[in-house]
Structure 1
């Protein structure tokens, strides 16, 4: 019997006529309805004609999460007074409850994508409702784009509804061809905001790490909320690990029968999920991830405690690592969470951060297409016939760099060809409902080790296992087999599904990293070798070799990223490992292994065969040319041999690089060569062309002109040291213009002074060269000497060769400065002439006694 009383109480009922008109007229609509209005449950029933109004239609409802899909189907069946599977059913990965006469089917967006790929026309489906569009999950965005393609090209009668609590309605309306926007009024009660930041500062989240001090504070705020307010408490935390930690700190509440503490997340057992979604007899504290923001209605909640954190996917393309990471929840998420406290009555939200921080939070969560690993998306697009996704109707285009990285992975696993088009293998991988990496591992490992054993490892990698399973993949598989928890049950169901799917794949005889016996199982393969093979096939660029010995060693991945294993792990000390999950600790440049398996070198070579190469390497290292033949697996060196008779051109490039690294001082610079370079620098500064630029950068740029043929004959550093840099520099003189012949005229090495001496000019300061000469040798000279029109800076020396004065204007010095110098030095050097009028005196380089003779 249909529960009309419950249906009539849902506010979205008032929007149904407008929604019907929009679909009748345009075929598409955007439905904006606040949480709790019934958009997820009433709207599909009405569109299917199950409420006695309108024609009978088959409606497909897509939800972003399995828990939401099951809950929505149960709620709709309850409203109809039926069991799930009759008029309303659901399909999620590994579970299908849909009867022959079902008119509404709730699926996850991943299941919808698989269905559209297999049957683009969606035969028998009249309406598709994409629920919770505001969450911007990648599968949902992709499904919307594919469905719009279907409607535009194959089935113009297919009706599409984008439904959300809060969304970019205008953006979705444009995407769906100018779809009308239908808004439903909600019934919301006031929610008081209580700011409850930690007393002491806590460390910001990084990767998957959350400061334990914050979790302790959240538990304390939950206790405070229980004491200050009535009703159930819904507490938002970023992940399963944080939920478990806070639940442990709240354990005493349940132990004494005061409050039930429940944990809600995607891995929670179905019985727990059902208990959370049903009215309770006792007061409850529900610890939940963001799954409870909008997809689920938890009855009885009057209080929300918000940690302010969420988990989002991120990819570190530089290190080849992709994983969930902890971020500050957006303002939109904060409003959604707070709204949970006011669904049934006035409520309160306790926010565990400072009010001033709220305005600095991002307005909306980042669209997954902007930040996530796009390998699976790229395969979906390739299978759809649009490899670069340029023709898809998407709110945000995929980033070019992420698509390039994704296409590289797909090419490596044989899923796409050189043009990016899906291969037959790629089409089959896409149908597995797995990430292409895991699909490749299942396809290639099953013939070698058996479908059952390969499926066990792939199933464990397809969903993050509990942390208590440890970081050793083989041990984690054994723990999953023993596990009686919700994860273990889902894992076993996924193993069954994957075991059947693996039968689609066959490998050419004799192909595979491990030897096979007649029934397709590896000969004597251990659980460790099976886990290692699967992990290596899935993540070949994360195969790693130990490079240090301390504390079990650090490892170098094929990708070039360094990684470390935890102490006490079964992975420590293994020469080779395959890393399935890794993150990067705060303040470090290396990765930390969260889940991996031991492999041997043969498996490593087989799994990462496309990344193997043997090449000649000639480069400058450790102060000399290094020439060697190297066998590599990506960044890992497998074997190295000295390379004799390396190509001269390559050696020359290494020598030039050596000059850049070590500097031109590697060459032989005689004193004359140094002076020549200084003279040329002087002329370049003051006269410009055609005199050459002899700065380091300029000489590197013209190395072909001045260091050949000596450089071409050199093979090592010692050969460079024998090259006469001064002789080489003469090649840069302006011989063609004839100016080279004027070098000694314009920038002479020495200059004649009044005494007749030829004194060397110092060009080490090209702005103004220096002439250091004894004062008595300059008597009678009225103007400072010049070279290339530039007055020399004259250092007038005492008879002992020490500077007595510095001037660029001799006439001024003789007039004003000489008297002081004469008074100071005449008594100290009485044997040398100190005339009163030096401007008219006879210059000399001799003493008085020599002059008298």
Structure 2
């Protein structure tokens, strides 16, 4: 290509903003650049900042500046470097190069180096000054990846304390730059976008589809997306870019498009570099159309030449972490409106285009405005270790757009302490610094360091490489089988990346660990790993996730993990008694976790790998069925009981705590309540309800609140509930002496009988035979006359005949009807005309003839 052609390719909209951007960086040292997709911010701006852009007006006599460009994804970093090198007419590795995990192409003359944000963090930890670097550009800041937020915080520290001359540029594809401007104390420079309109076509499914759930996406939605792709190909010209949430959905839609009159290409983080290069190279030279099925990696930083159509499924994947159970997973969510704008913009990079959105226009306003920042939802273990190694334990003092959630940081701190990465106050240990240099999550770093010693560096590196990028599911669920499969597949894309990562990890190991290469045996792992491949895989997984060692429960496919979470394992484990769970998630609402990748281990391996969770406890519990306290000395691996023995003389304080816990769970019904105690409790409850203070509340909650004061001894049935209640009576005020007056246990009726009062209901009840109340025109009123007794008048057989709280009214109005009904059935009992003057009696008249 001629120099003139390259100059035309450099004529991008962002060029108009370059003078203002240079001025902002010269004045403030920091800047925020807002430039829409396709404006050239990722390619032209770094060349301009380095002084390499042809015709940009820079002084070519001075040395080029060294510019470091940080991209959130490997595919974007490689693509950006290739594009800039092409614009200069050079090969990658000359004046423009890149470094991503496992691949580095730079030379002695490299001025612009594109790196991933993860690589930038590693470099900052090794060299806080970034010696020789003049400008750092954080691209795609709007995506709010955790590594980018962390790098920005570290770079601000560098500018404030070590290198105030270091220039820092945050570049975003959206205009929501206020937060970054405040954080960096930087001016905002806005650049125009490409003036190619994009028409929006709303294409919702014809019938309702199920919302995304975990990693599940309704197949009906994917079938609809494939149908919209076919429709768009028929209605519009040009290549098509379709956004889907993950690799599985891409494969399913690709299968549904079989036979389409176009080449179907799949772009995602696991795709071969050759496939990615083919997509970015441009339209098919023979004019055949292309359908590019892509994940969010194609949202930004990449121009896919020839694309005039975008089909958006409207879904995205975000991390979610269950800190209590140690489970992390991606989940499918509705894509934000900002992401939808980004995706639609891909259709208008080179010419007018069309974006088909597979949801209803009315739903669009209900979608989130922006994606959640990763710091709010992700596992913060790696972030917490980076902060500790930086000298900011707990991320204290770091300039972050959003503070890390306290619970997530506490969980991360617990993990770092458990693996020996930080000390008691959160400062990084020498081991922690070595772990951070490995470029792995702290769990995997621990597994690599300790695994190298136990199974050899190569075997440990091979397993950790599998864990650092989840292998394709078609390889199976058993990690040992997966490891054998990738060893046999040198040309498969995943296997090639795995080999590069294995080599990187072995090189990154400290010398004392790497020197143990001699312990590695043949292809099945080292001699120190029982069971060869399977033994090495199981031990390394257990070292990475000790809380996920799991033992089978009964004869089912369910396992109990050391964390206390139940896990369902469907295949790939052979019914083994013990497993180490490498990958698991817990779908919303599911009663158990779902183990997706496991390795077989034995109890000895579980004990070695999860030694920090091993404990021996004296467990005292109340057996409600037998009414006794039981005590055992139990060995546990986390929540997994390994065995126990009976303790004959348990600690009295533990016995007391067990009884307290039992009565708090089971309530006061676990106590022995003789009738006298039940009666007193009901009377006291009546007075508390009616008069209030000083009469105490004797309900379950009130009694249990003070259980520690009255629960003594080692048996619940030995508690003297009558004495307990008597002790609660208001003796100090003198009111207790009036108990019998205010709430008598029995009331003497005109016949001379002393009848028990029933305080069970809301109103006290006196149930007595009608003939015993002759001459009584008014029943007593209780609680200082506030509550009338409710009289249940019984027939001579003891059955209810009438209910009244006003005896005088009953004798005057109701008695006649009762008398007429019952006197024929009970002729031996008196039924006087005037009951108010009759003699009360408990007995019937004697039979005649006796």
Q: TM-score range by the shorter chain?
A: over 0.9
Equivalent in the alignment of 1:47: 49
Equivalent in the alignment of 1:401: 407
User: Alignment partner of 1:242: what SS?
Assistant: helix
Equivalent in the alignment of 2:511: 504
Give distance in 1, aligned partners of 2:321 and 2:32. Answer: 31
Equivalent in the alignment of 1:238: 245
Equivalent in the alignment of 1:669: 673
| Alignment partner of 2:206 out of 199, 206, 215 | 199
| 1:690 is aligned to 2:694 | yes
User: Alignment partner of 2:509: what SS?
Assistant: helix
Alignment of 1:267-282 (within 5 A): 267-280=270-283, 281=285, 282=288
1:744-799 deviation digits (Å, cap 9, x = unpaired): 3333322222222222222223x432222222322222322233323211122223
| 1:118 is aligned to 2:126 | yes
| 1:714 is aligned to 2:730 | no
1:242-299 deviation digits (Å, cap 9, x = unpaired): 212222222323xxxx421111112211111111111222211111111111121001
Give distance in 1, aligned partners of 2:677 and 2:515. Answer: 69
Equivalent in the alignment of 2:222: 215
Equivalent in the alignment of 2:329: 323
Aligned-residue offset at 1:367:
0.4
Equivalent in the alignment of 2:563: 559
Alignment of 1:534-613 (within 5 A): 534-550=540-556, 553-567=557-571, 569=572, 571-585=573-587, 587-613=589-615
| Alignment partner of 1:836 out of 800, 823, 833 | 833
| Alignment partner of 2:805 out of 804, 808, 823 | 808
1:409-468 deviation digits (Å, cap 9, x = unpaired): 111111001101100111111111111111111111112222111111111111121122
Is residue 10–residue 87 contact of structure 2 (8 Å, CA) maintained in 1? no
Is residue 302–residue 347 contact of structure 1 (8 Å, CA) maintained in 2? yes
| Alignment partner of 1:356 out of 337, 340, 362 | 362
1:608-650 deviation digits (Å, cap 9, x = unpaired): 1111110111123553433111111101111111121111121
Give distance in 2, aligned partners of 1:586 and 1:699. Answer: 38
User: Alignment partner of 1:252: what SS?
Assistant: coil
| Alignment partner of 2:154 out of 146, 154, 169 | 146
Aligned-residue offset at 1:738:
4.4
| Alignment partner of 1:785 out of 768, 776, 780 | 780
Is residue 783–residue 809 contact of structure 1 (8 Å, CA) maintained in 2? yes
| Alignment partner of 2:23 out of 9, 16, 21 | 21
Give distance in 1, aligned partners of 2:527 and 2:40. Answer: 52
Greater shift after overlay, 793-802 or 118-127? 793-802
Equivalent in the alignment of 2:262: 259
Greater shift after overlay, 95-104 or 733-742? 733-742
Alignment of 1:438-517 (within 5 A): 438-483=444-489, 484-506=491-513
User: Alignment partner of 1:447: what SS?
Assistant: helix
Aligned-residue offset at 1:521:
5.6
Give distance in 2, aligned partners of 1:110 and 1:846. Answer: 98
Equivalent in the alignment of 2:749: 753
Aligned-residue offset at 1:508:
13
Greater shift after overlay, 677-686 or 155-164? 677-686
Give distance in 2, aligned partners of 1:523 and 1:6. Answer: 61
Give distance in 2, aligned partners of 1:238 and 1:613. Answer: 43
Aligned-residue offset at 1:506:
4.1
| Alignment partner of 1:379 out of 377, 385, 408 | 385
Is residue 620–residue 658 contact of structure 1 (8 Å, CA) maintained in 2? yes
Aligned-residue offset at 1:7:
4.3
Equivalent in the alignment of 1:157: 165
Give distance in 2, aligned partners of 1:847 and 1:521. Answer: 100
Equivalent in the alignment of 1:108: 116
Give distance in 1, aligned partners of 2:623 and 2:414. Answer: 31
Aligned-residue offset at 1:653:
2.1
- Normalised by the length of structure 2, the TM-score is 0.93
Give distance in 1, aligned partners of 2:212 and 2:841. Answer: 82
Alignment of 1:57-136 (within 5 A): 57-136=65-144
Is residue 7–residue 42 contact of structure 1 (8 Å, CA) maintained in 2? no
Aligned-residue offset at 1:727:
4.3
Alignment of 1:812-831 (within 5 A): 812-831=809-828
User: Alignment partner of 1:251: what SS?
Assistant: coil
| Alignment partner of 2:653 out of 646, 649, 674 | 649
Aligned-residue offset at 1:202:
2.6
1:362-408 deviation digits (Å, cap 9, x = unpaired): 11111000001100000000011111213111111100000001111
Equivalent in the alignment of 1:249: 256
Give distance in 1, aligned partners of 2:549 and 2:183. Answer: 42
| 1:367 is aligned to 2:373 | yes
1:570-612 deviation digits (Å, cap 9, x = unpaired): x131111111111234652211111121111111111111111
Is residue 526–residue 532 contact of structure 2 (8 Å, CA) maintained in 1? no
Aligned-residue offset at 1:321:
0.7
Is residue 529–residue 536 contact of structure 2 (8 Å, CA) maintained in 1? no
User: Alignment partner of 2:393: what SS?
Assistant: coil
Greater shift after overlay, 646-655 or 4-13? 4-13
Greater shift after overlay, 379-388 or 480-489? 480-489
**Structure 2 spans left out of the alignment, 5+ residues:** none
Is residue 10–residue 44 contact of structure 2 (8 Å, CA) maintained in 1? no
Is residue 134–residue 167 contact of structure 1 (8 Å, CA) maintained in 2? no
Give distance in 2, aligned partners of 1:582 and 1:79. Answer: 45
User: Alignment partner of 2:259: what SS?
Assistant: helix
Is residue 237–residue 309 contact of structure 1 (8 Å, CA) maintained in 2? yes
Equivalent in the alignment of 2:760: 764
| 1:343 is aligned to 2:340 | no
Give distance in 2, aligned partners of 1:284 and 1:676. Answer: 87
Give distance in 1, aligned partners of 2:521 and 2:173. Answer: 55
Is residue 262–residue 287 contact of structure 1 (8 Å, CA) maintained in 2? yes
Is residue 434–residue 510 contact of structure 2 (8 Å, CA) maintained in 1? no
User: Alignment partner of 2:704: what SS?
Assistant: helix
User: Alignment partner of 1:45: what SS?
Assistant: helix
Is residue 457–residue 514 contact of structure 2 (8 Å, CA) maintained in 1? no
User: Alignment partner of 2:583: what SS?
Assistant: strand
Give distance in 1, aligned partners of 2:264 and 2:280. Answer: 14
Greater shift after overlay, 309-318 or 616-625? 616-625
User: Alignment partner of 1:627: what SS?
Assistant: strand
Give distance in 2, aligned partners of 1:775 and 1:508. Answer: 102
| 1:182 is aligned to 2:195 | no
Greater shift after overlay, 144-153 or 315-324? 315-324
**What is the CA RMSD across the aligned residues, in angstroms?**
2.4
Give distance in 2, aligned partners of 1:184 and 1:370. Answer: 30
1:482-515 deviation digits (Å, cap 9, x = unpaired): 2212222111111111111224354999xx9x99
**Structure 1 spans left out of the alignment, 5+ residues:** none
Greater shift after overlay, 230-239 or 613-622? 613-622
Greater shift after overlay, 571-580 or 810-819? 810-819
1:75-99 deviation digits (Å, cap 9, x = unpaired): 1111111111111111111111111
Greater shift after overlay, 64-73 or 798-807? 798-807
Greater shift after overlay, 693-702 or 472-481? 693-702
Give distance in 2, aligned partners of 1:687 and 1:267. Answer: 75
1:466-486 deviation digits (Å, cap 9, x = unpaired): 122111111111222222122
| 1:681 is aligned to 2:685 | yes
Is residue 530–residue 536 contact of structure 2 (8 Å, CA) maintained in 1? no
